Amino acid sequence: MSSRDYSSGHHFLQIPGPTNVPDRVLRAMDHPTIDHRGPAFAELGKRCLDGMKTIFKTNTHVIIYPASGTGAWEAALVNLLSEGDTVLMVETGHFASLWQKMATKLGIKTEFLKTDWRRGVDPQAVEDRLREDKTGTIRAVCVVHNETSTGSRSRIGNVRKAMDAADHAALLMVDTISSLASIDYQHDAWGVDVTISGSQKGLMLPPGLSFNALSERAVTESKTGGIKRSYWDWQDQIAANASGAFPFTPATNLLYGLAEAIDMLHEEGLDNVFARHDRHAEATRRAVQAWGLEVLCQEPKDYSSSLTAVLLPNGYDADVLRTTILQHFDMSLGNGLSRLAGKVFRIGHLGDFNDLMLMGTLSGVEMGLSLAGIPHQPGGCATAMNFLSETASLKTNA
Ligand SMILES: *Cc1c(COP(=O)(O)O)cnc(C)c1O
């Protein structure tokens, strides 16, 4: 390795997932793998299964898979839907589009409500479509809580209300992969049937675990419904989970980390965790506006608190900016996905994060904008600093 390959200090991993893994989680995972059928494991399994219920805010059941979030998407679909069923999805961005493609591959028919990729789900559009569906053809409504490609959040409680207002019996499935443990989420109170999530974003773990939180209705309907499946079957999981076990070898060391992360979230307090994310998102948007750049999300009530997607002026390449920042300041930022490629960059401000990490991140962006020759006003960092110092006393741990 030449001296130019070595970077001193911490790399800044400011993509919207995977996020920075805190030392406490790394240390918790740094233990020998134990017998997953022994008594010590059962205790760990229960801690994780029960602990995740408090994060999803549910009293029903949480399934934990050794898989990326995409696996948990598939599990949600195959446990409840049949080939030929119709689902209603909303094209909020790249991730909603991937989920729609998966459903199509599984033989599920999809109706895809379009958006301009600059806002969350419009609950009224869902209500209007469901009202037209007099024969109850639509079996499920599948939406993404926080669209990671655009930085737009959808109001799931209002989507539920829209479904109730239309008096429609569809199941509700929600992807919270980039919102869980960053933005308030209430599986039971919002009447969600399946919530999907992953380990590597707000939960502050490495990639490798994903989750389904279930409703009683989902548990019951999966007993007789769904597509042929084996690995993803919820019933096998539920049976094994009763004693804290799993039907096959679990990702034991990731579960050590998960138990620690759940403890950390409760030590801080979930409401404080959400307020911290809101405050860092607001500081970031103020910096972007002061630079004279545009936040991609155009609907203030839909602003994401876990990431901000920033639109560059026409004719400037966001990937050149990202490469410049990586080369000079050892910071990774999120790229523009599919139709947003080269047009936006994304600042992740979720997970294990604090005020000075945010200022380091924004400083890297401001210096990068200058180095890459992107037209902007100076002063974004100063604006963010003012906001952070003015609101510092609002932090409960100050
Ligand atoms: C990251 C992400 C995914 C994909 O998860 P994988 O773990 O990469 O499979 C899906 N949906 C959303 C909203 C995401 O942010």
Q: What is the CATH number of domain 10-19+269-394?
A: 3.90.1150.10
What are the pLDDT digits (tens) for 259-285?
999 999 999 999 999 999 999 999 999
Identity (one letter) of the amino acid at 159?
A: V
The pLDDT of residue 393: 81
Q: What is the pLDDT of residues 207-256, one digit of tens each?
A: 999 999 999 999 999 999 999 999 999 999 999 999 999 999 999 999 99
- d(C-alpha 28, C-alpha 73), whole Å: 28
Rounded to the nearest whole angstrom, what is the distance from the C-alpha of residue 177 to the centroid of ligand 1?
6
- Confidence (pLDDT) at 270: 98
Task: Find out whether the beta carbon of 177 lies less than 6 Å from any atom of ligand 1.
Answer: yes
230: CB partners within 8 A, 6+ apart? none
Question: Concatenated DSSP letters for 35-76?
Answer: -TTSHHHHHHHHHHHHHHHHHHT-SSEEEEEES-HHHHHHHH
CATH 3.40.640.10 fits 23-266, yes or no: yes
Q: What share of the chain is helix, strand, coil (3-state, %, to 5)?
A: 45, 15, 40
**% residues pLDDT > 70 (the chain):** 98
The structure's pTM equals: 0.97
| pLDDT score, position 397 | 53
What integer pLDDT is reported at residue 3 of this predicted model?
A: 54
Pocket test for ligand 1, best of 148, 173, 201, 212 (most atoms within 8 A of CB): 148
Angle, helix 156-165 to helix 123-132, in steps of 10 degrees: 30
Q: What was the pLDDT predicted at 6?
A: 85
Ligand 1 site, residue 307, Cβ cutoff 6 A: no
| Residue appearing with tokens 């100076």 | 378
Whether the Cβ atoms of residue 64 and residue 49 lie closer than 8 Å to each other: yes
Give the per-residue pLDDT at 306.
98
Q: Which ligand 1 atom is the nearest neighbour of the CA of 176?
A: 13
Domain coordinates in residue numbering, the chain: 10-19+269-394, 23-266
pLDDT value at position 5? 77
Residues facing 173 on adjacent strands: 142, 194
- What is the structure's pLDDT at 93? 98
Domains 10-19+269-394 and 23-266 share a fold: no
Q: What is the CA radius of gyration of the chain?
A: 21
Q: Which residues of the chain have pLDDT under 50?
A: 1, 398
